[in-house]
Amino acid sequence: MKEIQKILSRVRLAVEKYEMIEEGDRICVGVSGGKDSLVLLLALAELKKFLPRSFDIVAVTVDMGFHTCETAPSPKATHAEIRALCDEIGVEYIVKETELAHIIFDVRKESNPCSLCSRMRRGILHDCAKEAGCNKVALGHHFDDVVETFMLNLFFEGRVGSFSPVTLLSKKELILIRPLVMTEEKMIKHFAKRISLPVEKSPCPEDEHTERENMKQYLYEFDHKHRGLYRRLFGALERGNIDGWHE
């Protein structure tokens, strides 16, 4: 797959720099259906072919169950195209059915649901990873996400930091890895469009109406005027050795 080589080079750089993958790892790839997680899945499947360490991957989708939600109902997702993609690249695919949408929007009626939703989905994904015999979970956070999270933490929590490339979850006995942290979102978008990845549109009513989306637009506009902003902020995070980051 020639088109993925540019992304693959960034992924391998991140994997080697932050020592994300070891011999014998069994990695659960969290597949939401969005472009980031699908590109991550393909990149790891390609990396598996030549990385000088043997590892296995399993793709897991936590289905929010929006078809059970009274507030924002949607047709039941089949994830058939993702399953076909996994079959094509020889990766086991697991779908975990839930009623998270019903709980969050109908039962709890959360006015700011994103934080709770994220925590609950992560917990279910981690449990699925353990059930599948995995010792690591790979998430599709990319370069732009790193910078945006850095700024969100600064603006809304008054702290300096972002998520780490590698995070130990001692209670779960799992390690989180983020192999796309050195890959820009524009590269991911271009690749996903070029090979027509089966990207699933999120049925969540909060999609694209969050503070993260606002920050993304703010930084995009500022970067347009002051080229290299994302790179400078990313570099500052690395040089500061914050939250496990280092040059």
Closest by alpha carbon to 231, among 157, 150, 128, 139?
150
pLDDT(244) > 70? no
3-state class (DSSP) for residue 198:
coil
Q: What is the rounded CA–CA span in Å between residue 222 and residue 147?
A: 13
Contact 87, 57 (CB under 8 A): no
3-state helix vs strand vs coil in the chain, percent to 5: 50, 15, 40
Average pLDDT along the chain? 91
Contact 138, 28 (CB under 8 A): yes
Query: Per mean pLDDT, which range of 123-127, 140-144, 219-223 is the poorest?
Result: 219-223
Q: What is the rounded CA–CA span in Å between residue 48 and residue 243?
A: 28
Of residues 33 and 244, more confidence is placed in: 33
Please compute the mean of the pLDDT values over residues 208-223 and round it to a whole number.
Answer: 87
DSSP string, 47-113: HHHH-SS-EEEEEEEEE--GGG-SSS--PPP--HHHHHHHHHHT-EEEEEE--HHIIIIIIS--SS-
pLDDT band at 2 (very low <50, low <70, confident <90, very high): low
- pLDDT tens-digit map of 107-121: 887 777 888 888 999
Domain ranges of the chain: 2-239
- pLDDT tens-digit map of 60-70: 999 998 888 88
Hey, what's the torsion of the CAs at 8, 223, 157, 11, to 10 degrees?
A: 0
- CATH annotation of 2-239: 3.40.50.620
Contact 66, 73 (CB under 8 A): yes
- pLDDT tens-digit map of 155-209: 988 888 889 999 999 999 999 999 999 999 999 999 999 999 999 888 877 776 6
Q: What is the rounded CA–CA span in Å between residue 136 and residue 23?
A: 12
The set of residues, in sequence order, having a beta carbon less than 8 Å from that of 205 and lying 6+ positions away, is 71, 72, 105
3-state class (DSSP) for residue 227:
coil
